Amino acid sequence: MNPLPDLPRVATRLESARRILVITGAGISADSGLPTYRGIGGLYEGRHTEDALPIEVALSGEVMAQAPAITWKYLSQIESACRSAGPNLAHHVIARLAEIAPTTVLTQNIDGFHRRAGTADLIEMHGNLFELYCEHCGHAEAVADYSGLSTLPPPCPGCLDHLRPAVVLFGEALPGDALLRLQAVLDEGYDLVFSIGTTSVFPYIAQPFLLARQLGALAVEINPGHTEVSARAHVRWECGAADAMDQLARALSLDMSSPRGGKT
């Protein structure tokens, strides 16, 4: 474990912060052993699916509407990977930051790990695999996992249609309530912003980090590689999320022996 540069600076700023914003992407869940759906070590590794479709097409709103069984097949594979993993130390430390100052977490992840770790103020911009709903009649329900679903797509108990997860598929619009909540956070301002495990290619993920200087906030990036926002970071920790948050928890004297939320 290499010492983090400017760790005392970040810890001191946290201890005096009035509001904190944490932005996370797939990299934070990689420390849980959760593979991404594509890329090195991913579920598909850049190749077509067994249905001869790019994964971006299989996981699109158009295919969900026309051939939901195909989209459900690959969503269930992602859910299976989530079921065998869980929140890691980074998720738990982030949840504990709320004990220092009001903390909002903006995540692109659909694995539900932040929620399981105990984060209360959570913006799941791309939705959650475990919240299901019917586009036809509006029936909604939550499931712990997909093991109890007898068929895919699962039938809707309220009508003759089928359920789908409340996630943003390729080609679909972002949820309006999440966008409104994010705008409220930007309007309120924050004293420190973390960007953790995301390449920040989407404008709505990069913007809150890029606004840090305008707001007088400290911008801290945690990522092994350079990203779209690296040049605008005040502090860069080039390592994994769990390593960085472990050192931060120690600097803040947080007792992580009994973390909030679900299992690690």
Question: CA 240 to CA 256: how far, in whole Å?
Answer: 18
Question: Which residue in 110, 243, 117 sits closest to 174, CA to CA?
Answer: 110
DSSP class of residue 174? P
Instruction: Report, as residue numbers or ranges, the catalytic residues.
Output: 126
Decide the pairing of beta strands 103-107 and 20-24: parallel
Q: What is the DSSP string of 182-222?
A: HHHHHHH--SEEEEES----SHHHHHHHHTHHHHT-EEEEE
Structure tokens at 77: 């594979």
